[in-house]
Structure 1
Amino acid sequence: MSENTETVLWEPPVAGDEADTLVGSLERLRRTLAWKCGDLDAAGLNTRLAPSTVTLGGLLKHLALVEDEYPTRRLLGRELGPPWDTVDWDAEPDWEWTSAASDTPEELYALWEGAVARSRTHGRVRKVPPGSRRLARPLAALSGSPAYAQYAGDPPPCEVPHQTPRALPCGQTALLCGHGHVRQALAEGGPGRLAAYTDSRGEHPSLRGLLVDLIEEYARHVGHADMVRESVDGRVGEDPPR
């Protein structure tokens, strides 16, 4: 195991490359959501602003699904694991939203944190130059989870069996094995690397497109979390304290 200074980006770099700008933007939104949803009991996580049925608990569970959906199914072409694989989505298309009310805060935090940790391990972890703004305090301080501690040494080992890559148009391949292959896709094909997923038009989205979709999902829902959290205990602000 090699020692390094790799860490989670605090925000997009001022003049970084495309990959770090996309990943840094996503990390800032994840960090903000953790702050808006953190430190609450069941009543706080189930608070809603009528007539909307959106709750902070529902947001956590929905975004846990999104974090698993994009790297796992769309990029890698793999089926989702638990709890998503046992849901009848045709019968309950909003299951993650409606079922969140029955989950404990510990279960909701762990579900979202685990999904982010998997997605982040799939994603690109970069070496931060001296003087860069980095995650000054781990998100563990906000959520009570070790999932956001700065990496020391290599990322967690891959526990997913490797599979044969699937051929794609233009001679590209989608990497269908587990952890670390968004990072590999960025290294080998850049943000233009095509995903395994095929949309309704028969087209394969790029890794760039998948990351933009993730950013858009978080941007919408962090705005929802802003309003709901203020109604719970008055917590407001653009960024968590450092």
Structure 2
Amino acid sequence: MNNDQRIPPSKVAGDRASLTAFLDYQRETLAMKCQGLTGEQLRRRAVPTSALTLLGLVRHAAEVERGWFRLVLSGEDCEPLWPRTGGEFAEFQVDDADVDEAFVAWREACEGSRAAASAVGSLDDTVDFRGEVISLRYVLTHMIEEYARHNGHADLIREAIDGAVGE
């Protein structure tokens, strides 16, 4: 995990450039946490009482990207990649999950999210989603929060797998 190729956000960018750069930085952080691990390691639960795995976090990130940018922001019909089973988030059930498929889905979701955000004129432009008014600013801020929280999980999981730590 010593090959940090993330691009730090500008310290003087405007709001939109800053929010999108911070979101990309968080995306790159998740990728970095998974870098160099085997499929078995990516599926490994670091805490016996939790279903969280690095691969599950990647699959969850793909679903969250698709949900907020395609479903909410763009109004697309967006079926889950990994439908729920028994009320559980299926993206966290990774025992037989295909690692390559998960990373391809996540990268495609991120690209789709960037395109959806770019299509919106202003951070303050809104959509009506199920009776709630939601701005692009909110979606970007929420996604930064989503990744930051899960990257904290990823950091602990990675440390438990091979001792690697770092931002």
With the length of structure 2 as denominator, give the TM-score of the two structures.
0.87
Displacement of 1:95 in angstroms is: 1.3
Unaligned runs of 5+ in 1: 1-8, 123-181
Name the amino acid aligned to 2:98: T
Q: Is the 8 A contact 1:56 1:228 kept in 2?
A: yes
Q: Structure 1's 114 and 184: CA in aligned 2 closer, same or farther, altered over 3 A?
A: closer
Match of 1:197 among 129, 132, 145: 129
**In structure 1, distance between residues paired with 2:61 and 2:81:** 13
Cα 1:70–1:228, aligned 2, differ >3 Å: closer, same or farther? Answer: same
Structure number with greater Rg is 1
Q: How far off is 1:30 after superposition?
A: 0.6
Unaligned runs of 5+ in 2: 1-5
How far apart are 1:110 and its partner, in Å? 1.6
Q: How many residues align?
A: 161
Shift of 1:90: 7.5
Question: Does residue 235 of structure 1 match 2:164?
Answer: yes
Query: SS at the partner of 2:56?
Result: helix
Q: Which is helix-richer, 1 or 2?
A: 2
Q: State the SS of the aligned residue for 1:191.
A: coil
Instruction: Provide the C-alpha distance between the structure 2 equivalents of 1:119 and 1:207, rounded to a whole number of angstroms.
Output: 11
1:108 is aligned, of 91, 102, 105, to 102
Give the aligned CA root-mean-square deviation in angstroms: 1.9
Given candidates 11, 31, 49, the residue that maps to 1:34 is 31
Aligned residue among 53, 56, 59 for 2:54: 56
Aligned-partner residue type, residue 237 of structure 1: G
What TM-score does the superposition give when structure 1 sets the normalisation length?
0.62
Runs of 4+ that moved beyond 6 A: none
Change (3 A) 1:39 1:111: farther
Distance 1:103 1:222 in 2: 20
Among 218, 225, 233, the residue aligned to 2:147: 218
